[in-house]
Amino acid sequence: MSVIPGLIARQLSLSSISQAENTIRLLDDGCTVPFISRYRKEATGGLDEVAVERIRDLYAKYTELDKRKATVLQTIDGQGKLTPELRTAVEGCWDAAVLEDLYLPYKPKRRTRGTIAREKGLEPLAALVMRQDTDPTALAGRFVKADEVPDCEAALAGASDIIAEWVGDSAAARDCVRRMFSSDGIVSSKIARGIDPAAEEAAKYSDYFEWSEPFRRCAGHRLMAMVRGEKAGILRLSLGPDAAQEEALQERLNRIFVRRDARNGMAVALVCRAVADGYKRLIKPSIETELLGLAKEKADEEAIRVFAENLRQLLLAAPLGQKNILAIDPGFRTGCKVVCLDRQGNLVHNETIYPHAPQNRHAEACEAIRRMVRDYGIEAIAVGNGTAGRETERLVRDLRLTAPGSGEPVGVYAVNEDGASVYSASETAREEFPDYDVTVRGSVSIGRRLMDPLAELVKIDPKSIGVGQYQHDVDQAKLKKSLDSVVESCVNRVGVNLNTASKHLLAYVSGLGPALAGHIVGYRTANGAFRSRKELLEVPRLGAKAFEQSAGFLRIEGGIDPLDNTAVHPESYPIVEKMAADLGVTVGELIKNESLRRKINLNHYVTTGVGIQTLTQIMNEFSKEGRDPRTQNQDFQFAEGIHSINDLEEGMVLPGIVTNITSFGVFVDVGAKQDGLVHISQLANKFVQNPADIVSLRQPVRVKVMEVDMGRKRISLSMKALLNEE
């Protein structure tokens, strides 16, 4: 194997190179990240999912860089300019920016001022001037040509253009500028010429009309805001040193190109002017673009990380479980769309009620809700949190409904409906409910989200769920890859019921994908419920590899083999069966009886392919047999009397629920139809590096209203102020 595993091991501080080597082999063999991290612990040295993903991504990055190096070497060699020293430098380079610096002098260029000067035969003059031992004017006389180079001044101007290009192509000069810009550069933003600062679109960026800060301290979210303003044509963004630092930089560059044994002051002065030109015209804009691009890339990564973590929390939100649900998509003029779902999430009834203005058929709506609760055995009510959500939730709570039969209070839950409209108009929704319109489909989605957020949200593009930060400004390919990985991770962490899961949920199971998921559902429809995991091998086009990768993440309740309802992989069944046989009990008894499991000495079952880590994991799976790793759903209520931003006053202390987490703070819904921001500095009575360390998505919190900006519709909240009072 190449040097790449060693590079990865060092970068990730792995305990051994073999961890990277074995992980790469498994990835090359078609294994998925969830499968490797759960079922190949001995091979990877116990690496978790995050580490396996990092190895995968770095392996792809270094492999692409290796291909680029091959192209660079081939191009330079084709020009007959590949020296042994240059080959060694390229082959040993694993930094993309440095590699491009090495390649730049040999890279095919468009026609430049330097190119034109070379065409006039002035490159030898430039070389003579760079020796800095003779009067340039005396040298220039030899290169005067009546038709192309009319005089010495023109000859020296052309030679200077060539020297400036050499400076621009110099890896040493570019590295010097890069280091200066990185350590001492100032990133600045100004309003673009001709833009009216009072215009509505421009006002969004008013914080950055006259902004500057050290580049190394520029937070990703601020850079993203400035880049967005620049793309909109409202801001001008720049990066560079201040005047004093730029003067010092010029001196450093001069030291690179001015010879210590220079004997002619005029030649030195000419070289220094060419160096200044090469810096200002060629290096500075190039390095500025490069570093701002890298900073934007880093900001993208941070924004994508935040989005991915928010999505993970949302997908792993507490499910209410299998209950008969009444779901309401609230509305004023068009009414509230109501659906009733059975415990499997099937639509059994739908109608529209009009409790609010302008119809105000309040009594009729209340009676309709009571009737549906009674007729369909409703155990919980889901109310969308959009328009008229607060009013509808209040109406339902005031009914104080009880579940038929049990007499237990019917729980009322506000459900985040972000993306429900996207789902309702999607091909997936049309396929599920071809005979119903978008309003009914949206209500169904709200109800199913309460039952099982993960199973329902996988049907929606994650970008439509509303938990991102600058999601439209980041690299869309990287965003999609990251979010797809999160969905896959969550689905496989929870596990999927093979006999009830939709094809959309099955598609995210390790090793399957949309096509095989469709074949599984088709087989299930034709043949009835699966009785064992082995039966998967009878599904068309589902071969041994797909079975290996997926089987451990699929569950069968009440099947032939009790192990099929656990996360134990079929390849480990013989080990468990031997454990049970050694104790003289059945596998089912072993799974359910902890005292029996305590009698097992795991060291007796270690083999070449199965170590203590895998055996310990098996025992841990038995202790949580059938248990959903997600927490239980909790009810939440906003404060009375808060329905809009107009109801808020400074100093109010209110219950709220976290709706979004960003790198600069968290957004909290206090029932005002406009989320408020708890800035990172107001989260706790201590320094907070990452807001996600303090709160989680959908977490109930208490906040204090610090400021209400009616003009910009901004609400400033604090949790820190509340802690100070307590």
Tens digits of residue pLDDT in 659-675: 888 888 889 988 887 88
Burial of 300 (0-12, 13-18, 19+ CB in 10 A): buried
Task: Enumerate residues 6+ apart whose C-beta is below 8 A from 110.
Answer: none
Find where tokens 């071969």 sit. 543
pLDDT at 721 over 80: no
Residue 461 lies in a domain: no
Q: Are residues 283 and 168 in the same domain?
A: yes
Q: Tell me the C-alpha distance between 137 and 126, whole Å.
A: 12
Helix (H, G, I), strand (E, B) or coil at 214: strand
Helix (H, G, I), strand (E, B) or coil at 606: coil
pTM of the model: 0.81
Residue 604 lies in a domain: yes
88-96 contacts at long range (C-beta below 8 A, 24 or more positions apart): 93/69, 94/7, 94/62, 94/65, 96/65, 96/68
Q: Are residues 166 and 260 in the same domain?
A: yes
Q: What is the CATH number of the domain that holds 155?
A: 1.10.3500.10
Q: Are residues 230 and 132 in the same domain?
A: yes
Structure tokens belonging to residue 685 = 């009575």
Q: Are residues 410 and 282 in the same domain?
A: no
The pLDDT of 549-567, averaged and rounded, is 93
**Which pLDDT does position 630 carry in this prediction?**
66
Domain end: 106, 129, 154, which one?
A: 106
**CB count in 10 Å sphere of residue 148:** 15
pLDDT at 172 over 60: yes
Residue 255 lies in a domain: yes
Q: Tell me the C-alpha distance between 431 and 417, whole Å.
A: 20
Burial of 582 (0-12, 13-18, 19+ CB in 10 A): middle
DSSP string, 137-150: HHHHGGG-BTTTB-
Q: What is the CATH number of the domain that holds 97?
A: 1.10.10.650
Which residue from 317, 439, 435, 310 is spatially nearest to 387, judged by alpha carbons? 439
Structure tokens belonging to residue 164 = 């400036």
Owning domain of residue 591: 514-623
Structure tokens belonging to residue 249 = 């930089």
Task: Enumerate residues 6+ apart whose C-beta is below 8 A from 319.
Answer: 451, 452, 453, 454, 628, 630, 633
Q: Tell me the C-alpha distance between 424 and 446, whole Å.
A: 10
Residue 237 lies in a domain: yes
Q: Are residues 148 and 253 in the same domain?
A: yes
Are 320 and 450 within 8 A, CB to CB?
yes
Q: What is the CATH number of the domain that holds 659?
A: 2.40.50.140
Tens digits of residue pLDDT in 65-124: 999 999 999 999 999 999 999 999 999 999 998 999 999 999 888 889 999 999 999 999
Tens digits of residue pLDDT in 462-494: 877 767 667 778 888 888 888 889 999 999 998
Domain end: 451, 475, 494, which one?
A: 451
Is pLDDT larger for residue 417 or for residue 31? 31
High-pLDDT (> 90) share of the chain, %: 65
Cα angle: 73, vertex 77, 78; to 5 degrees: 120
Structure tokens belonging to residue 126 = 């430039």
Residue 487 lies in a domain: no
Q: Are residues 62 and 149 in the same domain?
A: no
Q: Are residues 593 and 680 in the same domain?
A: no
φ and ψ at 327, to 5 degrees? Answer: -115, 140
Q: Are residues 92 and 122 in the same domain?
A: no
The pLDDT of 143-166, averaged and rounded, is 93
Task: Enumerate residues 6+ apart whose C-beta is below 8 A from 659.
Answer: 416, 466, 467, 667, 668, 669, 675, 697, 698
Radius of gyration of the chain (CA): 33
Within 13 Å, how many C-alpha atoms sit on residue 221's CB side?
15
Average pLDDT, the chain: 90
Q: Are residues 195 and 279 in the same domain?
A: yes
Domains held by the chain: number: 5
High-pLDDT (> 70) share of the chain, %: 97
Domain end: 451, 468, 500, which one?
A: 451
Element counts in the chain: helices (H) and strands (E): 32, 15
pLDDT at 527 over 60: yes
**CB count in 10 Å sphere of residue 697:** 22
Q: In terms of DSSP bridges, do strands 653-662 and 665-669 run parallel, antiparallel, or are they unpaired?
A: antiparallel
pLDDT at 627 over 60: no
φ and ψ at 631, to 5 degrees? Answer: -75, 175
Q: Are residues 292 and 332 in the same domain?
A: no
Within 13 Å, how many C-alpha atoms sit on residue 539's CB side?
29
**Which pLDDT does position 714 carry in this prediction?**
87
Are 246 and 260 within 8 A, CB to CB?
no
Q: Are residues 286 and 397 in the same domain?
A: no
**Which pLDDT does position 22 carry in this prediction?**
96
Structure tokens belonging to residue 39 = 């079922």
DSSP string, 326-357: EEEE--STT-EEEEEE-TT--EEEEEEE--ST
Residue 506 lies in a domain: no
Q: What is the CATH number of the domain that holds 388?
A: 3.30.420.140
Q: Are residues 132 and 248 in the same domain?
A: yes
Q: What is the largest CA-CA distance in the chain?
A: 108
Residue 670 lies in a domain: yes
Q: Tell me the C-alpha distance between 240 and 259, whole Å.
A: 27
Which residue from 457, 107, 111 is spatially nearest to 314, judged by alpha carbons? 457
Q: Chain-centre distance of CA 314, in angstroms? A: 14
Are 25 and 2 within 8 A, CB to CB?
no
Q: Tell me the C-alpha distance between 665 and 301, whole Å.
A: 17
pLDDT at 334 over 70: yes
Residue 89 lies in a domain: yes
Are 700 and 719 within 8 A, CB to CB?
no
